[in-house]
Structures are given as structure tokens and as C-alpha cells.
Structure 1
Amino acid sequence: MAVLALVLFGAFLLLAGVARICIQYRRTGDTGIRRARAAGPAHAWARAALATASLLVGIATPVAELVGVLDAVPVLDRPALHAAGAVLALAGIGAVILAQNAMGASWRNDVDPTERTALITHGPFRLVRNPIYTAALTWATGLALLVPNPLALPGLLLLLFGLELQVRYVEEPYLRRTHGPSYEEYAARTGRFLPGLGRTPRTRPA
């Protein structure tokens, strides 16, 4: 299972990363890659948490099993759970690609406060505000089930922590500043990561 987890990690990087950048450049002349300075401590912490979590779940966890440093947690070391993990990881990769495509020219790898991109509310964004992140969590959960050793759960929790920081303290404030009432209305009717959960109350005029 560790080898399969590494293959699925590589597939994620290739399809949701390299391929996405190539498609974006071909369609728009812009790679969509932004390396702006972190917009405050929360943004810096989010970047660090997401990078560390990806390395933990995608590389450290399966490598630790391959070299025999860590064994799987017995209660989770079940063929049915491994199979479910493979399905979740594949589904997560596919869902990330679909959500990225729905963003079109607005896709970016990170927030650049100096830019104004369109507010995307169609496709999977009709159901949740952050379908790419939901799909990435699905993918990471699948990898953790494929290789359920003691590194997997901390890596998964760190990924969730990083995404919460990124969304709540970086992206949502940016979208409110950029799109104002349009985003407030969208956020009031659409869940953050899951349908119906994490909707924000409408701001009432003073």
C-alpha cells in the first residue's frame, strides 16, 4: 500500500499541479502561480502547515512504512479500509481537477491581494465555497487509510488546520474586500467545506 500511496501522491502533484499550470498557461498566458509575500502571520502559518502536512501524508508516511520504521495501526490495517483509501484518493484527485477547471481563468495557487479575480459560484462552487480544499482533504484521507501508521493522522489534522487558517484568515477576508455584498450573499447560502456547514450570517447594514 505504501507504494500505491506514493504513486497517488505523485499523480496528485502531476495532475493537479504541473498539468494545471500548463493548461492555465495555454488558455490564459498566465501560469496562475503566485509568490506574493504572506499577508500576515496567519498566511505564513497556513503555508507552512500545508507544505508540512503534504510532505507528512504524501511522502513521510509511506516511506516510513517502506523502510520499516513505522508499522500500520492494527485497528486500521484492514484490506477494506485500504481499498476505501484508494477510492477516496482517486476521487479526491478527480474532484480537484474538476473544481480547478470550474475556476477557469480565476484559478490561482494562492491569494495575491493586489489582484481581482472573478467570484466563481457555478459548478461545484454551487455546493461549497472551497471544493478544491474539500477534494484535497478527501485525497489526503485516502492516503492516510492506505498507509495508516502513526504519522498519517497528525499529517491529516495538520492539513485541516492549514486549510482552516488559509480559508478563514486569508481567502475569506480577501473575497469580502474584493467582492463585498456579492460574496456575503454567496457565503450566507453556501457551506465552507461541506454543503450547509460553515455558512456565514449576512451582514446587516448599520
Structure 2
Amino acid sequence: MIAAATVSLFVVMMLFCGLLRTLIQRRRTGDSGNRRTLSPRGSLEWMALTVTDIGYLTVGVAGPLAYWLGLPPVSALHHHLVQLLGVVLAIIGIVAAFAAQMSMGASWRIGVDDDERTGLVTTGAFRIVRNPIFTAVLVAFLGLTLMVPNLIAVTGWFCALVGIETQVRRVEEPHLLRLHGEPYAHYVATVGRFLPRLGRLRTRDDVSTDRL
């Protein structure tokens, strides 16, 4: 039952935050907003996005399947209240991720195009953290992990975290600094990366040299 619910929530998230958001973007702008195909195979962005996708699939599919086949949960997380918390976090994360995506309007993108200039969004949830979509996604997948808290799901969540961290720190932040210059440098100095006040960068060099 809980494994089926986990997969169902994962599918809902993919439909809303992937398919539906892309269709809305195409209808409003004539463009899907997807720039993933521009990343050469083997590039840093390609690897970051691939690792993230593997993490997503591990949490949303492999973890529940292993749970259904009898893989025992991590003992410290083996409690029905933990699973209930997971359901709550998954739903909150899905709703928050879609809302943050929508708040980007025409600037919403999947991946980076070095030749494209988009507006710098700093309003709404972006006033609190610089990457509210990724924050909400990580919360959602943490919820899915807690629903079927075995080693496969936990490993998948950390895999997604590493992919997202790499994409944000090593691809998107340097790109946005090149694109927006001082306004972005001021933004990263005052707003946290994934959590309020955490991950702020004080200088332009911090953006281009920050590491995991």
C-alpha cells in the first residue's frame, strides 16, 4: 500500500512539475523552456542532470519496488509516524515546487542556454531562497524516501542532492553571474541558496569558485 502510494505521488509530481509545467510554458510563450538537449553528453551539466534524474528514479521507483519486494527499512526510520511525515512532506514539496515554477513565468527553464538572456526573478519565494524549486523538490523527495525508508531510497535522495548541488553551484550560478553581473552578485550576497540565510556568497569570485 505505502509503496503504491509512493509511486503514485512520484508520478503526480512528474506530471505536474514536468509535463504540465512544460505544456503551460509552451502555450504561454511558444517555447517549452527545456534546454537540456543543449548540454553535450559528458559535460558537467549533462552529468549533474543525469545524476539528479537517477536519484529521482531511485527514490520514486526503485525504492518502492525494493520495499514491496521485502527490503527492510532503515531501523532508525522504521515507524508509521515517519511514513506519515513522509506523505505530508511529499505533498507539500510537490505543491511548493509547482508554485515556485509558475512564479518564474517566462523565465522558467530546465537547463542552461549560454546564448539566452532571461529575466532575474527575485520576487515571491525567490526573496527567501535563491532556488525554491530545488528546495521544494528535495523536500518532496525526502518525503517519498521517508515513506519507503530503505537504503535504496535513502541513497537515491543523496544522489539527487549531489546532482542538484552540482547543477546549481557549478552550472547555474556562474551562468547567472555572467548574465546579470552585479545585480546577481548582490542577490547571492543577501539571499540563501536553498535555505534562508545559508549559502550566501559575498563576492563575485565566491560564485565562480564555490565548491560542494
- Aligned-residue offset at 1:41: 3.6
TM-score for the superposition, normalised by structure 1: 0.94
What corresponds to 2:26 in structure 1? 25
Gaps of 5+ in 2: 206-212
What corresponds to 2:96 in structure 1? 95
Moved more, 44-53 or 180-189: 44-53
What corresponds to 1:63 in structure 2? 65
The total of aligned residue pairs comes to 203
- Aligned-residue offset at 1:78: 0.8
Q: Distance in 2 between matches of 1:197 and 1:130?
A: 12
- Aligned-residue offset at 1:24: 0.8
- Aligned-residue offset at 1:195: 0.4
Q: 2:63 corresponds to which letter in structure 1?
A: T
TM-score for the superposition, normalised by structure 2: 0.92
Q: 1:159 corresponds to which letter in structure 2?
A: A
What corresponds to 1:174 in structure 2? 175
Q: Distance in 2 between matches of 1:11 and 1:4?
A: 10
* RMSD of aligned alpha carbons: 1.4
Report the identity percentage.
Answer: 46
Q: Distance in 1 between matches of 2:39 and 2:69?
A: 38
Change (3 A) 1:39 1:126: farther
- Aligned-residue offset at 1:98: 0.9
Where do 4+ consecutive residues of structure 1 move more than 6 Å? none
CA offsets 1:147-185 (integer angstroms, 9 cap, x no match): 001112211111111111001110000000000001000
What corresponds to 1:127 in structure 2? 128
Q: Distance in 2 between matches of 1:115 and 1:20?
A: 20
Contact 2:39 2:45 in 1 (8 A): no
Contact 1:71 1:149 in 2 (8 A): yes
Q: Distance in 1 between matches of 2:204 and 2:60?
A: 40
Moved more, 39-48 or 59-68: 39-48
Aligned pairs for 1:127-166 (under 5 A) are 127-166=128-167
- Aligned-residue offset at 1:114: 1.3
CA offsets 1:86-136 (integer angstroms, 9 cap, x no match): 000000000101110110000011111111100000010000000000000
- Aligned-residue offset at 1:46: 0.4
Q: What SS class does the counterpart of residue 186 from structure 1 fall into?
A: helix
Contact 1:133 1:163 in 2 (8 A): yes
Change (3 A) 1:163 1:188: same
Contact 2:88 2:143 in 1 (8 A): yes
